[in-house]
Amino acid sequence: MTVLSPFSAGPVRAVLVVHGGAGTILRKHLTARLEAEYLAALEASLRAGYNALQSSPGTAMDGVEAAVRFLEDCPLFNSGRGSVFTHDGRIEMDAAVMDGETGRAGAVTGVTTVRNPVTLARAVLEQSPFVMLAGRGAEEFATFAGTERAAPEYFRTEERWNQLQNQLRRESEESAPLMSLSEDNKFGTVGAVAVDARGTVAAATSTGGMTNKRYGRIGDSPVIGAGTWAENATCAVSATGHGEFFIRHAAAHDIAARMAYGGRTVAEAAHEVIQDKLRAAGGEGGVIAIDAQGNAVLPFNTAGMYRGYITHDGIPFVSIYPD
């Protein structure tokens, strides 16, 4: 488990952590070229977020939004462009942000024409009295907020379409249970957490959901306290994994609660939730979490998680497989 504790004393300095999803990510499934592309994209995301952190005023919210926007624009990841398809052949996207200083949050779910759902989630936080908007209403709000739109075709990639066809074929041939997880399933969510120079933390999470999902299924990413959480007194968290488990166990908030009421460090709390509690319940995935002092942790209980961090030296570190 990667634990980042760069600043034990002195002034707080900006730190940014990102993830690009966790799951059955095996070396045999990634060519050297594709692995390099993933690592380069994670590095670019970190640089985009770090540049936003270094700009004036350089808030944690600016950093996490910029980092996640880059990942949403990259077709390698299951968010924004490159999102997976539903059972009906549609793309429906979810996102959430939370500000650790104010406790305010914004989330959207089931949007289909918003180029960067994370930016719309931030607009919900900043331009509305609400927390979560869904479907058509969220799209209407995007028009009000002036959020950039894109035609459904923009988000489509052949790889994601083929993944849906494979799932549909498997269901037909094997009479697989509804929305069963295939052995090559990747929990495709992207996210970022950051602390800025003022000691404010923020979190952002964005996803295309689960391949072959039906009936308007919503995972943990846009659910505040499940897949996204931020408060200065404890930590900021962005999760990736089998969303139903993260929702049932309020995983992101549970990490913060263990810090607030149990005196755990961010590393201890995240380990207990991901490696002990969720694993015992059968939940797979991981989180990135950071506290207001810049201590960060990136635990996961799957074969891999696309992840990385950048600190005051401006040099990104990225990885996919366990340490």
The more confident residue out of 221 and 11 is 221
147 is catalytic: no
Whether the predicted pLDDT of 251 surpasses 70: yes
Instruction: Say if residues 71 and 115 touch (Cβ distance below 8 Å).
Output: no
Model pLDDT, residue 184: 46
Q: What are phi and psi of 35, to 5 degrees?
A: -60, -40
Amino acid at 4: L
Q: What is the mean pLDDT of residues 258-284?
A: 98
Model pLDDT, residue 173: 84
pLDDT band at 13 (very low <50, low <70, confident <90, very high): confident
Select from 238, 239, 244 the least CA-distant residue to 213. 244
Q: What angle do CA 48, 53, 55 make, to 5 degrees?
A: 95
Q: What is the CA radius of gyration of the chain?
A: 18
pLDDT band at 134 (very low <50, low <70, confident <90, very high): very high
Q: DSSP string spanning 212-273? A: T--TT---STTSBTTTEEE-TTS-EEEEEE-HHHHHHTTHHHHHHHHHHHH---HHHHHHII
Amino acid at 247: I
d(Cα 46, Cα 292) in Å, to the nearest integer?
A: 19
Catalytic residue among 59, 189, 234, 302: 189
d(Cα 148, Cα 261) in Å, to the nearest integer?
A: 41
- CA distances to 196, 237, 259, 270, 307 from 1, rounded to whole Å, are 24, 16, 18, 10, 12
Model pLDDT, residue 8: 44
**pTM of the full structure:** 0.94
Tell me the average pLDDT of the chain. 93
Q: What is the mean pLDDT of residues 213-221?
A: 96
Q: What is the mean pLDDT of residues 283-300?
A: 97
Residues in the chain, overall count: 323
Q: What is the mean pLDDT of residues 280-307?
A: 97
Q: What is the mean pLDDT of residues 71-81?
A: 97
Domains in the chain: ranges and CATH: 2-319 (3.60.20.30)
Q: What is the mean pLDDT of residues 197-202?
A: 96
The more confident residue out of 137 and 171 is 137
> For residue 22, what are the β-bridge partners?
187, 305
Q: What is the mean pLDDT of residues 204-224?
A: 96
- CA distances to 46, 244, 299 from 274, rounded to whole Å, are 24, 14, 7
Residue with the two structure tokens 């089998």: 242
Amino acid at 204: A
Model pLDDT, residue 9: 47
